[in-house]
Amino acid sequence: MTKPVIGVIGNSYTVENRFAAQLVGESNLQAIAELTDALPLMFAGNPKITDIGTLLSIVDGILLTGARANVHPRNFKTEPHVAHEPYDENRDAVALPLIDACVARGIPVFGICRGFQEMNVAAGGSLHPEIRDLPGRINHRMPRLETGEIHPDPAVIFADRHDVQLMPGGTFAKLLGKETIRVNSLHGQGVLQLGERIIAEGVAEDGTIEAIRFKEAQGFALGVQWHAEYDPQVNPINRTLFQAFGEAVRSRKKAAA
Choice among 72, 84, 113, 210 that is catalytic: 113
Expressed as residue numbers, the domain containing 202 is 5-256
Query: What confidence tens digit (pLDDT) does each residue in 13-28 have?
Result: 998 989 999 999 999 9
What CATH number should be reported for the domain holding residue 146?
Answer: 3.40.50.880
Question: What was the pLDDT predicted at 256?
Answer: 81
What percentage of the chain exceeds 70 in pLDDT? Answer: 97
Q: For residue 93, give the 3-state DSSP assignment.
A: helix
The separation between CA 168 and the C-alpha centre of its own chain, rounded to angstroms, equals 22
Q: What pLDDT, on a 0 to 100 scale, did the predictor assign at position 186? A: 84
Binned at pLDDT 50, 70 and 90, residue 44 comes out as very high
Give me the pLDDT at residue 231, please. Answer: 94
Number of domains in the chain: 1
Catalytic entry in 72, 84, 128, 227: 227
Q: Which of 118, 130, 201, 229 is catalytic?
A: 229
Give catalytic status of residue 85 as yes or no: no
Give the β-pairing of 109-112 and 180-183.
unpaired
DSSP letter for 70, please: B
- Please give the model's pTM, rounded to 2 decimal places: 0.94
- Residue 227 catalytic? yes
158 within 8 A of 180, measured Cβ to Cβ = no
Alpha-carbon dihedral 102, 131, 233, 212, rounded to 10 degrees: -40
